């Protein structure tokens, strides 16, 4: 019962963070779901939950979505999703775990280091961000860092960025699942009752996030998100290193 409870806790916190900050489900939940379920099954569950969470948030932020940027990002994501869906089937589990943790930690670090940089919002940068995001989302379940780097560097207004990420995360989550299925990806072996519990927990996390958003500043939520994500990344890397040594 410990593992299912931890899975639901990771989903609850991730969904709540997604609602408070506009992104972050994968940043919070992916390291722990990978640790609990394995690198392939854990990321697939992250893709499922990320798509469900984003879909539930879209009606709340629909008016603020930048649909032009969304279309470019979603189209570019395919450039990364297709190769990543193949790679996850051939890389040994410990190596994949280390890569997942390193990608997450690296993406977060670059995002923080680029806070003072200013980049023109050209299409080629948007395309590069989408392709990198699609690859990381499919391989590691963390598509946020790549687009957050772009948003920070181009000074994309947070309200519009957070809203646009919801249909984007829904799209790339669904695409990742489709291409992984075509590549023979394994669906996590969870009872139907557990799948239902995961879905309800996603919705509960959003409701809790609605409440917390009224009392927690975006800055505070982002700092908490970064701290938890770094901890999860370190834990995932440690498990991969342990797997290589044993």
Q: How far is residue 4 from each of residues 92, 123, 195, 216, measured CA to CA in Å?
A: 25, 43, 10, 28
Q: For residue 184, what pLDDT is reported?
A: 67
- Alpha-carbon 219 to chain mean position: 19
State which residues form the domain around 108: 2-245
Backbone angles phi, psi at 38, to 5 degrees: 105, 160
- CA-angle at 177, arms to 4 and 42, nearest 5°: 30
Query: Which tens digit of pLDDT belongs to each residue from 63-122?
Result: 999 999 999 999 999 899 888 888 877 888 788 778 877 877 887 787 677 666 666 667
**pLDDT in the model for residue 117:** 63
| Measured torsion, CA atoms of residues 158, 13, 34, 30, in degrees rounded to the nearest 10 | 0
d(CA 111, CA 139): 19
Q: Which regions in the chain score pLDDT beneath 70?
A: 1-3, 111, 114-121, 183-187, 218, 221-222, 225, 229
Going by C-beta distance under 8 Å and a sequence separation of 6 or more, which residues neighbour residue 237? Answer: 97, 98, 101, 102, 105
pTM > 0.85? no
Number of compact structural domains in the chain: 1
For residue 54, CA distances in Å to 4, 83, 199, 228 come to: 22, 24, 12, 20
Structure tokens at 191: 């009872």
CA angle 115, 222, 216 (to 5 degrees): 135
- Cα torsion for 13, 105, 65, 196, to the nearest 10°? -30
The DSSP symbol for 22 reads S
């Amino acid at each position: 019962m410990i593992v299912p409870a931890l899975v639901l806790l990771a989903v609850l916190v991730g969904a709540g963070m997604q609602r408070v900050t506009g992104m972050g489900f994968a940043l919070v939940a992916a390291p722990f779901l990978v640790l609990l379920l394995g690198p392939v099954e854990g990321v697939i569950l992250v893709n499922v939950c990320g798509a469900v969470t984003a879909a539930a948030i879209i009606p709340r932020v629909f008016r603020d979505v930048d649909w032009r940027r969304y279309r470019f990002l979603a189209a570019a994501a395919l450039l990364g999703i297709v190769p990543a869906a193949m790679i996850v089937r051939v890389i040994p589990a410990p190596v994949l775990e280390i890569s997942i943790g390193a990608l997450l930690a690296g993406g977060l670090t670059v995002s923080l280091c680029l806070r003072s940089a200013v980049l023109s919002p050209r299409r080629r940068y948007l395309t590069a961000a989408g392709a990198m995001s699609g690859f990381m989302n499919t391989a590691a379940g963390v598509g946020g860092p790549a687009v957050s780097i772009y948003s920070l560097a181009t000074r994309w207004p947070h309200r519009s960025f957070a809203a646009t990420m919801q249909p984007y995360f829904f799209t790339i989550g669904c695409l990742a699942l489709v291409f992984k299925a075509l590549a023979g990806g394994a669906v996590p072996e969870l009872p139907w009752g557990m799948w239902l519990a995961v879905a309800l927990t996603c919705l509960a996390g959003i409701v809790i996030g609605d409440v917390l958003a009224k009392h927690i500043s975006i800055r505070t939520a982002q700092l908490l998100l970064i701290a938890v994500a770094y901890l999860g990344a370190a834990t995932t890397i440690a498990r991969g290193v342990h797997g290589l040594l044993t």
